[in-house]
Amino acid sequence: MEPNDLDRLAEKVADLIVEARKVVVFTGAGVSTESGIPDFRSPDGIWSRFDPDDFTIQKFMSSRETRRMQWQMLAEGSLLKDVQPNQAHYAVAELERLGKVECVITQNIDNLHQKAGSSPERVFELHGNMKRVRCMSCDATFPTEDILPRLEKEEVPDCEFCHGILKPDAVFFGEALPQRTLNDSIHHSRHCDLFIVIGSTLVVYPAAYMPIYARETGAKLVIINIGSTPMDAEATVAVNAKAGETMARVMRMVRSQLST
């Protein structure tokens, strides 16, 4: 895409944001990859080194070996290394401060929206957060960084309170999405007037229903993603470009409009 074309599309997105009363932002892996976090499905992603069949909730709960492999993956740090938010994360946080973003619905599990300054209570994590660990028996939660040092002595750490199974607080295959988070996400999707998709191919359900709910109730739709999505034909504006670069341009135009 030529820079002039991107500027033209970014201006359209900025106009929609300025005109909107309630904006919901929906983010996927394309935002995280720009911070250096590998995609699960890409050729060099997580599943190129680990078998996804080993990460069903059923197998995790029944197999100590599967739990050992999960902790090994965490210890390698591919999902927990000290990555930083990128321009897209900071743009979304700034839009919240400007009173434009009602909430962020994310498929990502990396905590980068909060790190960029988005209010934690406005970030709905459909697939959980790898920065937390949850006990499957007593429901206690712990920062993952507090559990990782135990791996030097324990291949499979357990809960310090009840000795139950500890699990990263992310949604595994075969596991239901957190119901309250899902309900809140559906509510906000149905009550916004502008829904912005950033960095998602919209092929993972039920998360990908969110823009459908928004369109059903009359919201305008913006899609910013490298590659096409099943919802492109429904979009008021579809931008085939990187999330960070696009959102940086959008924000320059939003600031300009709001300052006049």
Single-letter amino acid, residue 249: R
Query: Are residues 200 and 26 in contact, defined by beta-carbon separation less than 8 angstroms?
Result: yes
* Residues with catalytic function: 127
**Quick count: other Cβ atoms within 10 Å of Cβ 46?**
17
Query: Are residues 23 and 92 in contact, defined by beta-carbon separation less than 8 angstroms?
Result: no
Q: How many CA atoms lie within 13 A of 123 on its CB side?
A: 24
Contacts 24+ apart (CB under 8 A), 16-19: 16/194, 16/220, 16/222, 16/236, 16/237, 17/95, 17/100, 17/194, 17/196, 17/250, 17/254, 18/100, 18/254, 18/257, 18/258, 19/194
Rounded CA separation 53/56 (Å): 6
The answer to whether the peptide bond before residue 43 is cis (omega within 30 degrees of 0) is no
